[in-house]
Structure 1
């Protein structure tokens, strides 16, 4: 094989590995925002963000509600207002679809449609759809791990729904 073919294959492999790391970062972010969360030992939301991260609600419903937060501390502080032990959700599950990830060297951008199914402590329940656009950079500690540098969310729609308590399953 020629050097140019090897270089091309190495570049394609780096891009595929970066896409996979971006997927893992988003999956962990969503899982850590679920209620109840299923975190692994030593996992934290803060570890998923770069030091210069920005998290922003955009559009008519989220710009005012969430605004713009800079840095892992303020971002995680805002997210924790919705997570246990704060009494907000009784259940909260995130689903991602319509994935599109582009990698260009040391920068990646991902786009998803997120469906969030939420039950609240006041017994209300809601389905929310949002458009996510997220920029990623390689971690300075481990270049195989990619971190969120800019996260934007825009609500597309919401709808009420009924949550029925779990019923035992007999076999």
Structure 2
């Protein structure tokens, strides 16, 4: 598997683990390096998400949005083809992602973000060492009837 396919597979798995209701316990942390950084970019996401450092802190932050915590009723991430640059043990990639969410409140939205991700190429899989998300577009969707 080439670097693009391997990194895309890791990112796709990460997003699938953040979907609701489909979620697998325990695997999320294995997708990140011990010293990983996860941050929001741009004015909307820098304030909303800030910066989280370290695998355990990232997993704790992410799982606060997932069941059994009441945030998303349903949530799905759709990843579009991206680009990957680099070699050796480090690879950087950029993708656009669409997210469709229905919240516990019944409100729903469509959101598009740019994901800039740096991976460390470990022997068994690429692991995310830096993840940055920046909202590009958001629009409300019809609520529940």
Common fold by TM > 0.5: yes
The TM-score with structure 1 as length reference comes to 0.79
Tell me what 1:106 maps to: 89
Distance apart, 1:164 and its partner CA = 6.0
Q: How far apart, CA to CA, are the structure 2 residues paired with 1:48 and 1:136?
A: 10
- Larger-gyration structure (1/2): 1
Tell me what 1:91 maps to: 74
Q: Does the 8 Å contact 1:19/1:103 carry over to 2?
A: no
* Structure 1 segments (4+ residues) deviating >4 Å: none
CA deviations on 1:114-140 (whole Å, 9 max, x unpaired) are: 10000001110000111100000022x
Tell me what 1:18 maps to: 3
Give the one of 153, 160, 167 matched to 2:140: 160
What's the Cα RMSD here? 1.6
Tell me what 1:44 maps to: 27
More strand by share: 2
The TM-score with structure 2 as length reference comes to 0.93
- Unpaired segments of 5 or more residues in structure 2? none
Aligned length: 145
Q: How far apart, CA to CA, are the structure 1 residues paired with 2:23 and 2:58?
A: 20
More helix by share: 1
Worse-superposed segment, 123-132 or 16-25? 16-25
Secondary structure of the corresponding residue to residue 77 of structure 1: helix
2:18 maps to 1:33: yes
Q: How far apart, CA to CA, are the structure 1 residues paired with 2:4 and 2:129?
A: 15
Q: How far apart, CA to CA, are the structure 2 residues paired with 1:73 and 1:45?
A: 10
